[in-house]
Structure 1
């Protein structure tokens, strides 16, 4: 009897799902052919755009379908390759989600969201002076891009949370990161089988740099570990996802991802009132050998005679960046200056140095005001919603002490998560009076 019921449900599901499967396949093939990129990059781009096509078709029934479908695409670092642009799939997905959120998202914004938007505006105003002093195209484009990565991502997350899609959006993120982790593990097994025990650069579902893979998996691991009560997520699945993601992060040997994850876990585990889910203290014991391993790796590189290893190279780049900054100390050399040629044609090795050389003293002060202000705003939010938001943004700031800060998905993902948490808080607050009114109506109904 149960088997017949199950069979009927599957048939009913397929009766409505088959057309979406055909639409997905058709959209992917069409985009793949139109792009003319018969490669893995073209296939990934086609799949991502096909998802957006399907989301657009679903919009009349689910107004924020495009924003929801964009959540996994935020984890795709491949170049979109449309019209000769250098946009990543993550950028395209965020822009599409932002347009949807602006048109269909609920208003007004909550007080914490408005405060963060104003803080970002302070930074944007300061860096506008850099755009004026250094008039080249990439500088102007990156100025708008930086605004999208903070304010745009925050509005996207807020709109999803406020509309009641917080749980689904976060699960889509964890699912996308888990796929990357599986790809990292598969790549690592093949690599180790050939006797190479170095850092793993995932090759599936698409090729990516180890630090990108490690950091985005770390954000998802924080979600799985925090697992706030309002997510209503099974503890078993949350812990399984967390450990899967941790394995992937360790295989990449991304130090910035590991340090950022350790700091975020400490915040979630030690802060009171972060939700009804009891966080495992066993993880805290594993942080000690993890931190010790990172310290040994850094000390080993510093004491090494290899002047081309990561530690020595970063120190050399820092000295070069300091010398280059002194040529334009007030307004800097412009955003993405290292792509413009000249003797400083390599990326700054640290977040604040990147901002200092790009935007000068004014930009760095505004950047610090924005970052510290965001941390203060998120810390004051009810821990049930604010702990996860604070932890992921703090994790990104910690990661930036070892690499660039303004990197597409690595900035937008934690800010989207923070926006989702703030939107969910507003959604829960709005539901409270509504539920009380419904209860009162039921009480007087015969």
Structure 2
């Protein structure tokens, strides 16, 4: 038998066999979780995994079905509990989307995407030094995890956008965000009826911390507000979705989510022809109450005698982290050092401080190079596609000035958004080139 024929048959066999392997693996994992996890978490987790199994079966017709099904699962922060590993459903969904993108997605990456991947590689190389200098399991695992949250998310989003699924992917995100908003609003109304006007911690469709819920709803609200022309979402639905999500965000009283959303909206509103849609600058006046709300909440906590409120607690943590960093200023104490016991048993509540203590001055410099470089790259992209991507990434950076940074969904979702935008741009460019060739052939 000729070698080329043998390879052709092998490729044909693999094209069908790998799907059955994925379905079998997904079924095993789902059963494992059903048998070992507590009921309140296993239900949602199993539903998410069952969705991935169904998507694997649909892959024969829609090659990126797994990546599409993984999009709403990115919003599930519950622990999957696989073999004791500290992985969330969001992590597993992102890994599935990334694997699908590598196997079946378009890998002819555009210049902006390649630049962003190289910038992330700079940070990964700097943190690799810490992994070598401070060896422990969590340090090594988190190194791969951090790469997945940034580069893996970019590649997964790119595959969806380049494959022609940008609109569907964004609609799935909007659906997921609105489900969380429904749980937040209903839970908030019940809470208010009982006279409690404090922050709302959604308990449906699953339990969430207020800052997580506020943060992910802010990303979805940003998509609805930007509403680029190529997403083809009606103006009425986009406005309704945006304001409904804003109500949910306000109910959570998540200051960082509000701050990140406000900054991103200002960028979109002021940039000309942002996303192919002209945005009224009247909304800038409506942002004033949001700014007032943030400032008043912070001032109230600063003037409060309660030394355990979030503002005073953060100041105390930041002072403690500065003292801890001085013990290892160059390479830091390692990624996820707060899981290793000792007195530093909390994740620093601010992005640059977390990076500084984790990977030292070397890692912080690379971190700043990565973020500034990515923002420059996205700012230079055609505003029709680049504005939403830029605003999403900037929004995450602003949020992280007031709370934890390396949190699975809070990092991966904005990078998936950016990847989708860049993929959609590349697809449109390819279509334009094909159209020009067809017109030239007719002449």
> How high is the TM-score relative to the length of structure 2?
0.92
Q: Which residue of 2 aligns with 1:329?
A: 329
Q: Which residue of 1 aligns with 2:101?
A: 101
Q: Which residue of 1 aligns with 2:317?
A: 317
SS of equivalent to 1:177: helix
Q: Which residue of 2 aligns with 1:9?
A: none
After TM superposition, the structure 1 = structure 2 runs for residues 151-166 of structure 1, keeping only pairs within 5 Å, are 151-166=151-166
Q: Which residue of 1 aligns with 2:183?
A: 183
Q: Which residue of 2 aligns with 1:386?
A: 386
Gaps in structure 1 of 5+ consecutive residues: 1-22
Q: Retained in 2: the 8 A contact 1:338–1:344?
A: yes
Whole-angstrom CA distance in 1 between matches of 2:275 and 2:395: 19
Q: Retained in 1: the 8 A contact 2:134–2:334?
A: yes
Q: Which residue of 2 aligns with 1:432?
A: 432
After TM superposition, the structure 1 = structure 2 runs for residues 288-299 of structure 1, keeping only pairs within 5 Å, are 288-299=288-299
After TM superposition, the structure 1 = structure 2 runs for residues 307-386 of structure 1, keeping only pairs within 5 Å, are 307-386=307-386
Deviation at 1:33, TM superposition (A): 7.0
SS of equivalent to 1:207: coil
Whole-angstrom CA distance in 1 between matches of 2:100 and 2:67: 6
Deviation at 1:30, TM superposition (A): 6.2
Q: Which residue of 2 aligns with 1:77?
A: 77
Whole-angstrom CA distance in 1 between matches of 2:439 and 2:38: 58
Q: Retained in 2: the 8 A contact 1:218–1:258?
A: yes
Deviation at 1:173, TM superposition (A): 0.5
Q: Which residue of 1 aligns with 2:397?
A: 397
Whole-angstrom CA distance in 2 between matches of 1:48 and 1:278: 37
Q: Deviations over 1:223-263 (max 9, x none)?
A: 00000011111111111110110011000000000000000
Q: Which residue of 1 aligns with 2:6?
A: none
Whole-angstrom CA distance in 1 between matches of 2:68 and 2:217: 19
Q: Which residue of 1 aligns with 2:277?
A: 277
Whole-angstrom CA distance in 2 between matches of 1:411 and 1:266: 21
Q: Flag the 1:32–1:137 CA change in 2: closer, same or farther, 3 A.
A: closer
After TM superposition, the structure 1 = structure 2 runs for residues 35-184 of structure 1, keeping only pairs within 5 Å, are 35-184=35-184
Q: Retained in 2: the 8 A contact 1:378–1:389?
A: yes
Q: Retained in 2: the 8 A contact 1:32–1:38?
A: no
Whole-angstrom CA distance in 2 between matches of 1:167 and 1:276: 15
Q: Retained in 2: the 8 A contact 1:31–1:49?
A: no
Q: Retained in 2: the 8 A contact 1:28–1:50?
A: no
Q: Retained in 1: the 8 A contact 2:34–2:43?
A: no
Q: Which residue of 2 aligns with 1:195?
A: 195
> How high is the TM-score relative to the length of structure 1?
0.91
Q: Flag the 1:439–1:91 CA change in 2: closer, same or farther, 3 A.
A: same
Deviation at 1:286, TM superposition (A): 1.2
Whole-angstrom CA distance in 2 between matches of 1:322 and 1:435: 58
Q: Flag the 1:409–1:33 CA change in 2: closer, same or farther, 3 A.
A: closer
Gaps in structure 2 of 5+ consecutive residues: 1-22
RMSD between aligned residues: 1.7
Whole-angstrom CA distance in 2 between matches of 1:233 and 1:400: 30
Deviation at 1:28, TM superposition (A): 11
Q: Flag the 1:255–1:192 CA change in 2: closer, same or farther, 3 A.
A: same
SS of equivalent to 2:308: coil
Q: Retained in 1: the 8 A contact 2:33–2:80?
A: no
Q: Retained in 1: the 8 A contact 2:161–2:420?
A: yes
SS of equivalent to 2:276: coil
Q: Deviations over 1:188-227 (max 9, x none)?
A: 1111111111100000000011001000000000000000
Q: Which residue of 2 aligns with 1:241?
A: 241
Q: Flag the 1:276–1:114 CA change in 2: closer, same or farther, 3 A.
A: closer
Q: Retained in 1: the 8 A contact 2:34–2:46?
A: no
Between 188-197 and 35-44, report the one with greater CA deviation.
35-44
After TM superposition, the structure 1 = structure 2 runs for residues 409-424 of structure 1, keeping only pairs within 5 Å, are 409-424=409-424
Q: Retained in 2: the 8 A contact 1:32–1:42?
A: no
Deviation at 1:361, TM superposition (A): 0.3
Deviation at 1:32, TM superposition (A): 7.4
SS of equivalent to 1:85: coil
